[in-house]
Amino acid sequence: MNRSTIQVVDCQILAHYQFESAQFILTLASDSIAQKTKPGQFVHITVSDALAMRRPISIMSVDAKNGTFDLLYKVVGEGTRQLSERKVGDVLSIIGPIGNGFKLTDKKLPLLIGGGVGMPPMIAIAQQIKDTDYDPFVILGSEVPFPFTPELSKMGNPCPKVSHTMPLLEGWGVACRLASLQGYEGVFKGFVTDLARTYLDALSVEDLVQVEVYACGPHPMLEAVANLAKEYNLPCQVSLEEYMACAVGGCAGCVVKVQTNQGVAMKRVCVDGPVFDVTTVF
């Protein structure tokens, strides 16, 4: 067992921005979390004094030098609503970083697919590999306005007619395109998996074997990603969600059904995941 790998820290809110459709980006201060986090890990947050059970939220990006990290969340119920009311200067109790995170492999063309509030772990991977010899392509999907202002990308375009990207990723030099059924300007009209298909179909045979898919998003999206990975015969890691109590492996509250060599097992999303090999969970 990995003793003492998870910190309990009081983190001050340094920034808290609201975007359309009750989406928020929260910047918190913690040297230890900023320095230790791996892409795909999450934190477990006490949102207010009124709600004692914590809420799990993925870490989107870190600033190790300044000791800060960012979260992106959407208000869906009472917990996230109370979180959205917390002000700059407030202090939140945080447990983290938690979870196995994504495993970067020797495949040099990571295809990162994030849907809705499944975007943060993809951005976390992009941040980790932006200055390496990996050549990632990111696809972000949303059915509500994106929690950033999409901008025209100047980076080489693997998907003709789809022009807009996330400014943060553009700044990092990571290629990205957006997808939505809503018909936003410069955004691919369709599912993230359809845009992924356009990208994959344009790759040479040699490049295709260099692709590994990483995904996080709503269940139907992950199912579609699972089918896509199968169709193109690509390895694929997905990050899952489940209701949690402890988030440290103690309660077995957060399990999902996983296929193992020994048959079906119920694995804990908090510490055995949240990232799983797609073929074991779909």
CA angle at residue 104 from 233 to 279, to 5 degrees? 35
5 touching another protein, by CB under 8 A: yes
Q: Are 215 and 123 in contact (CB under 8 A)?
A: no
Region label for 82, one of left (φ > 0), alpha (ψ between -120 and 50) or beta (otherwise): alpha
Residue ranges in 237-276 that form contacts with ligand FES under rule CB under 6 A: 244-247, 249-254, 268, 270
Q: Are 270 and 249 in contact (CB under 8 A)?
A: yes
Closest distance to another protein from the beta carbon of 40 (Å): 17
274 touching ligand FAD, by CB under 6 A: yes
Collect all residues with Cβ–Cβ distance below 8 Å to 117 and sequence separation of at least 6: 23, 58, 72, 73, 74
Binding mask 240-279 for ligand FMN (x = CB under 6 A): -----x-----x-x--------------------------
Q: Are 253 and 243 in contact (CB under 8 A)?
A: yes
Instruction: Say how many CA atoms lie within 13 Å of 128 toward its Cβ.
Output: 22
SS3 category, 240: coil
Q: Which of 252, 249, 241 is nearest to 3 (CA)?
A: 249
Chosen residue from 39, 79, 97, 150 binding ligand FAD by CB under 6 A = 79
Which entry of ligand FAD, ligand FMN, ligand FES, none binds 74, CB below 5 to 8 A by partner kind?
ligand FAD
Chosen residue from 58, 68, 127, 142 binding ligand FAD by CB under 6 A = 58
Q: How far apart are CA 117 and CA 218, in angstroms?
A: 8
Closest distance to ligand FES from the beta carbon of 148 (Å): 31
Chosen residue from 29, 62, 117, 256 binding ligand FAD by CB under 6 A = 117
53 touching ligand FMN, by CB under 6 A: no
Q: Which residues bind ligand FES (CB under 6 A)?
A: 244-247, 249-254, 268, 270
Q: Which residues bind another protein (CB under 8 A)?
A: 1-8, 46, 51-54, 79, 93, 95, 242-246, 248-256, 264-266, 271
Q: Which residues bind ligand FAD (CB under 6 A)?
A: 42, 53, 55-58, 72-74, 76-80, 117, 120, 241-244, 269, 274
